[in-house]
Amino acid sequence: MSKIVIISASIREGRNSHRVALYFSSYLAENKLGETEILDLKSYYFPLFSERLKYQKKPLASATEFAEKVRHADGVIIITPEYNGGYPASLKNVIDLLTDEWNKKPVAICTVSDGNFGGTQVITSLQFTLWKMKAWTVNAMFPVPKVTQSFDENGLAADKDTSDKRAAGFVGELLWCIGAKAKMKN
Ligand SMILES: Cc1cc2nc3c(=O)[nH]c(=O)nc-3n(C[C@H](O)[C@H](O)[C@H](O)COP(=O)(O)O)c2cc1C
């Protein structure tokens, strides 16, 4: 089974996009699609970027642990809120912190907002940054508009059937990419 880490990017007090991270964790487990772990940037609460991890003389143990979890994951799902048309500093902080860990890593991007457009303005800037890091961004979107109406605090979807159908397409693309990469290695 594929190892998939879910990066939950919002560290805001009273955040709501974390609901979607909980949803994906349950969705993947319920459907036996992967071994998952949520890497919650609010729990890590990393200091502001001062240098890439591999060049730090005394790296935080938590930063090294985070990097190893990304390195050993077969794929990554990023759950990001939209802040002023972009992704949050907490996410840029960890993208810049890592280097080789992103190289050829299949990454699926899920954007979240409390408005009507599901955070889709984030996509181009985040994709571009991940492309610069040589990640393989997956050709699928999972925008979540009106997040508090769509998911409760435990990640339960208000309309589970519809959410699960959308998730199947989104996660399916990630798993395809993971499978394709595995074939290239053999
Ligand atoms: C600083 C800030 C800027 C925001 N900018 C946008 C925005 O540009 N577009 C949008 O749809 N929602 C915006 N929102 C609302 C978020 O989409 C909303 O908080 C959502 O729940 C996801 O973020 P969260 O996980 O931090 O709650 C903004 C929220 C904050 C705190």
13 alpha carbon – ligand 1 mean position (Å): 12
User: Which residues contact ligand 1 via a Cβ below 6 A?
Assistant: 10, 12, 15-17, 81-85, 112-115, 117, 119, 147
**Could you tell me if 108 and 173 are in contact, meaning their C-beta atoms sit under 8 angstroms apart?**
yes
Q: What is the pLDDT of residues 27-86, one digit of tens each?
A: 999 999 999 999 999 999 999 999 999 999 999 999 999 999 999 999 999 999 999 999
pTM over cut 0.95? yes
- Token pair, residue 80, equals 């990001």
Q: Whose CA is nearest to atom 24 of ligand 1?
A: 15
Residues 81, 18: Cα–Cα separation, whole Å: 9
Q: Say what the pLDDT of residue 6 is.
A: 98
170 alpha carbon – ligand 1 mean position (Å): 22
- Mutual orientation of helices 89-97 and 122-132 as an angle, nearest 10°? 10
Q: Say what the pLDDT of residue 185 is.
A: 79
Average pLDDT, the chain: 97
Residues 186, 183: Cα–Cα separation, whole Å: 5
The sign of the CA dihedral 130, 128, 33, 103 is: negative
